[in-house]
Amino acid sequence: MEYYNYIKSLHLIFVITWFAGLFYIVRLFVYQIEAADKPSPEKEILRKQYKIMTYRLWYIITWPSAVLSSIFAYWMIFFTDLGQAWLQMPWMHVKLGFVFLLYLYHAKCQQIFNQLQNDDVKYSTNFMRLWNEGATIILFAVVFLVILKNAIDWVYGVLGIFLFAIIIMLGFKFYKRLREKS
């Protein structure tokens, strides 16, 4: 148990860097898609630069952070008494469900990354801006579940996250209208 706080600290550090990578990679996707509409030679110059930036972010920060975060989480859950106790609690099951969604989100980002590295633009910048909110929703859900645990009924907390998602989408639509007017 004396090493538990070290493992937890490392897990949190890599969760933070994983999310930072996910937030920024999608922003770079937006820039790559916008670059595809630029005239030559600007288009080629920007695409080349964004490919380098996304490659480094994805394989030097985001993927290693995802792997290390998962290793330390696995260690906390399966090799500590506290982790074993948490596995018996409903909030942890919901949290692990959101973590599974995060892995799916990460996998989809990998697919988009591969497409853009091959100059295959399948999504709009508006889709990417909205897609970026997926990680935000997962982050909010996980943080509230971990911090509050049983302080509130987790079902209401999850419903609150979906309400938050709707508010984000409405805000996105409002922002899109403002951008179109200017």
- DSSP single-letter state for residue 39: P
95 annotated to a ligand binding site: yes
Q: Which two tokens stand for residue 113?
A: 């990354």
Cα distance between residue 41 and residue 123, in whole Å:
22
Each as own residue / partner, the long-range contacts of residues 119-126 (CB below 8 Å, 24 or more positions apart, any chain) are: 119/36, 119/47, 121/32, 121/33, 121/36, 123/29, 123/33, 124/33, 125/30, 125/33, 125/34, 126/176
Q: The tokens of 182 are what?
A: 């200017």
Q: Is 106 annotated as a binding residue?
A: no
DSSP string, 103-163: HHHHHHHHHHHHHHHTT---S-HHHHHHHHHHHHHHHHHHHHHHHHTTSS-HHHHHHHHHH
Binding site, by residue number, is 11, 95
Binding site for heme, by residue number, is 11, 95
